[in-house]
Amino acid sequence: MKKDLLKIVNHYGILPQLKYIHSEYFELDEAIITAESLRFEGKHSGIPEYAKEHIAEEIADCYVMLEQIRHFYDIGDREVLNVMKYKIERQLERIDLDGKKWDYY
């Protein structure tokens, strides 16, 4: 898969792909907003299956773009996972310090 992702990013160029990723983020955001609107408007008790499928598709599009960028800059899985772990732990510490429960649902 790495070879294929590099072929894509090298074909289009890194700058156009960096610009294109914004449209993928926007499409994911819109899919989530649509799903939440359906739920909050009371049209569905939860998020309908077609909305979940749409969100999954948009997440996949974002992953494809992110993986192109990651491979282009030769950033390894371990590097990303280490930073993710750090950021998750930091956020959990903030939550513990906050002491508040945020219930958006």
Instruction: Give a yes or no: residue 24 inside a domain.
Output: yes
Produce one character per residue of 51-85: b if its CB has 16 or more CB atoms within 10 Å, e if not.
Answer: beebbeebeebeeebebbebbbeeeeeeeeeeeee
Predicted local confidence at residue 39, as pLDDT? 79
In degrees, rounded to 5, the angle at the alpha carbon of residue 72 between the alpha carbons of residues 23 and 90 is 75
Give, rounded to a whole angstrom, the gap between the first and last alpha carbons of the chain.
38
Predicted local confidence at residue 56, as pLDDT? 98
Instruction: Give a yes or no: residue 81 inside a domain.
Output: no
Q: What is the pTM of this model?
A: 0.81
Gyration radius from the chain CA atoms: 18
Q: Total structural domains in the chain?
A: 1
Instruction: Give a yes or no: residue 84 inside a domain.
Output: no
Instruction: Give a yes or no: residue 70 inside a domain.
Output: yes
Q: What is the pLDDT of residues 15-70, one digit of tens each?
A: 999 999 999 999 999 999 999 888 777 665 678 889 999 999 999 999 999 999 99
Owning domain of residue 6: 2-74
Predicted local confidence at residue 97, as pLDDT? 79
